[in-house]
Copies of this chain bind each other. A is one copy, B any other.
């Protein structure tokens, strides 16, 4: 029970959250099919319409994984609902038309530096921030 025993020091044969399943692929495809922010429930409905049956809980879990991995942006609509969108991997913010929802990704190195500086100045650590800009886009303004 010693010499023949295989190496068991690696406790986990696979790391959770990495298995490519039908459901995860389907969620990824749906995310690629639109450019604006959608709620988990909307995404779940879209999956149904595509004929890809995926449980609602799985949709939530997958979106959480993708968000943790930085592959989707999550933000809260005004009524507190979480909405998701696939995103470029860099940190950025959004300029959103409050009328039609058209979204522009914007980067703001100056803002990043500013928030860090402010946080340092007050002794806050482990910083995150949310910045969204709302306005009316050219098309909607007429």
Residues of A at the B interface (CB closer than 8 Å) are 76, 78, 80-82, 95, 97, 104, 106, 108, 110-111, 114-115, 118-119, 122-138, 141
Contacts and interface: CB of A to CB of B under 8 A. Distances in A.
Given A80-B81, A124-B135, A106 B129 contact: no
Nearest to A128: B134
A74 to B, nearest CB: 10
Given A124-B135, A126-B136, A127-B133, 6 more contacts: A104-B122, A110-B110, A125-B136, A129-B132, A129-B134, A130-B131
Nearest to A134: B128
Contacts of A132: 129-130
Contact of A119 (B119, B128, B129, B133): B133
A95 B124 contact: yes
Contacts of A127: 133-135
Contacts of A82: 80
B118 A106 contact: yes
Given A81-B80, A118-B95, A132-B129, A124 B111 contact: no
B137 A123 contact: yes
